[in-house]
Amino acid sequence: MDLNLKNKVVVVTGASRGIGFATVKAFAQEGARVVAGARTTGPLEELAKEYDVVPVVADLSTPEGATALVAAATELGPVDVLVNNVGAVQPRLAGVAAVTDEEWLAALNANLLSAVRTTRAALPGLVQTQGTIVNIGSVNAILADPSIVDYAASKAALASWAKSLSKELGPQGVRVNTISPGPVETDLWHGANGMAETIAGAMGITHDEAVAAVVQGLGGFATGRFSRPEEIADLALFLASERSGNMTGADVTIDGGLIKTI
Ligand SMILES: NC(=O)c1ccc[n+]([C@@H]2O[C@H](COP(=O)([O-])OP(=O)(O)OC[C@H]3O[C@@H](n4cnc5c(N)ncnc54)[C@H](OP(=O)(O)O)[C@@H]3O)[C@@H](O)[C@H]2O)c1
């Protein structure tokens, strides 16, 4: 399938590992020119030796980080595709009332305002190119959970914002879609400060037991496994391409059958 993404200017946030890194690589392999933002860019520098990838050091939880990333992309040309991927989760194991204002604001900055600000900066280019926006949401937008209350609420807000945006931008020729993954094999789950280690430490169980407890608590996967970052990236390619030209305002779940409701 020709996705016709060659030479497109693509911006990916949260790009140095996990879903963001897989997305950068997938677009680059399609011949796109990818501007990739994160606070650290080591793995992206390696990728840039082989592909048309521009790593940009940016803290995307700040207004300055978002505008700096888009400014770097605009040097290549107006933005064709924006993938709002950056996000972060911190387990809140002391109860909902114990989550401080600072923690709420950090979650909203990382998971919602990062996308709002990057989109605002990229919008003139996106309108010019009749481009597309792909947001990486989460099943937690509909799966409320006190142990990640601020993350789930910020992903619900992201989904609502994306739907509003799709209504406004559709008539201007810009499509906006969201991918809502369930658990994915990345550092967010499996890293040193990830979900599994934090829960394991708090409960006095192993990493694998923590993963099993959470997944079983949600009813388990129909497929029996986590998604892979490359599977999310492939869906982002499709949603960014003209092959999905009449899709906008959609929210596509990829969760191995974790969500059981229709
Ligand atoms: N993994 C899952 O199970 C899962 C499930 C549903 C949804 N998601 C969503 O998918 C997205 C990607 O998740 P992931 O699992 O790939 O996460 P990850 O492995 O933790 O990677 C996060 C990426 O974002 C970057 N990042 C974090 N904070 C940043 C900041 N303030 N400024 C710039 N970059 C920042 C990190 O790089 P630096 O540290 O170098 O900045 C890294 O490249 C997130 O929106 C997440 O909510 C993930």
- Report pLDDT digits (tens) over 81-101: 999 999 999 999 999 999 999
β strands within the chain, DSSP E? 9-13, 33-38, 53-57, 81-84, 132-136, 175-181, 251-254
Confidence grade of residue 206 (pLDDT, cut at 50, 70, 90): very high
Is 217 part of any domain?
A: no
Under 8 Å between Cβ of 82 and 133: yes
Does a structural domain hold residue 1? no
Atom of ligand 1 nearest to the CA of 151: 47
Distance in angstroms (rounded) separating the CA atoms of residues 144 and 140:
6
Residue 141 included in any domain: yes
Which of 17, 145, 189 is the pocket-test mutation for ligand 1 (most atoms within 8 Å of CB)? 17
Output the CA 44–ligand 1 centroid distance in Å.
Answer: 14
Question: pLDDT confidence of 239, banded at 50, 70, 90?
Answer: very high
Confidence of residue 237 (pLDDT cuts 50, 70, 90): very high
177 within 8 A of 135, measured Cβ to Cβ: yes
- Give the model's confidence band at 204: pLDDT under 50 very low, under 70 low, under 90 confident, else very high: very high
Instruction: Give the residue, by CA position, lying nearest to ligand 1 atom 8.
Output: 138
* Cα separation, 259 vs 143, whole angstroms: 8
Task: Measure 111 CA to ligand 1 centroid, in angstroms.
Answer: 9
Residue 213 in domain: no
Question: CATH number for the domain including 65?
Answer: 3.40.50.720
Collect all residues with Cβ–Cβ distance below 8 Å to 10 and sequence separation of at least 6.
27, 32, 33, 34, 35, 79, 80, 81, 82, 83, 240
Q: Measured from the CA of 18, which atom of ligand 1 is nearest?
A: 16
Task: Calculate mean pLDDT across residues 13-38.
Answer: 98
pLDDT tens per residue, range 126-172: 999 999 999 999 999 999 999 999 999 999 999 999 999 999 999 99
**Residue 2 belongs to some domain of the structure:** no
Task: For a ligand 1 pocket test, name from 53, 86, 211 the mutation site with the most ligand atoms within 8 angstroms of its C-beta.
Answer: 86
Rounded mean pLDDT, 4-20: 98
Task: Give the Cβ contact number of residue 55 at 10 Å.
Answer: 23
Compute the distance from residue 100 Cα to the ligand 1 centre, in Å: 22
Residue ranges in 30-143 assigned as alpha helix (H)? 42-48, 63-74, 101-108, 114-129
The parent domain of residue 162 ranges over 9-185+227-254
Which of 89, 150, 184, 254 maximizes ligand 1 atoms within 8 Å of its Cβ, making it the mutation to test the pocket?
Answer: 184
Residue 19 lies in a domain: yes
Q: Does 72 contact ligand 1 (Cβ within 6 A)?
A: no
How many domains are contained in the chain? 1
Active site residues: 151
Q: What are phi and psi of 208, to 5 degrees?
A: -65, -35
Per the domain annotation, does 207 fall within a domain?
A: no
Position 214 in a domain = no
pLDDT grade, residue 107 (50/70/90)? very high
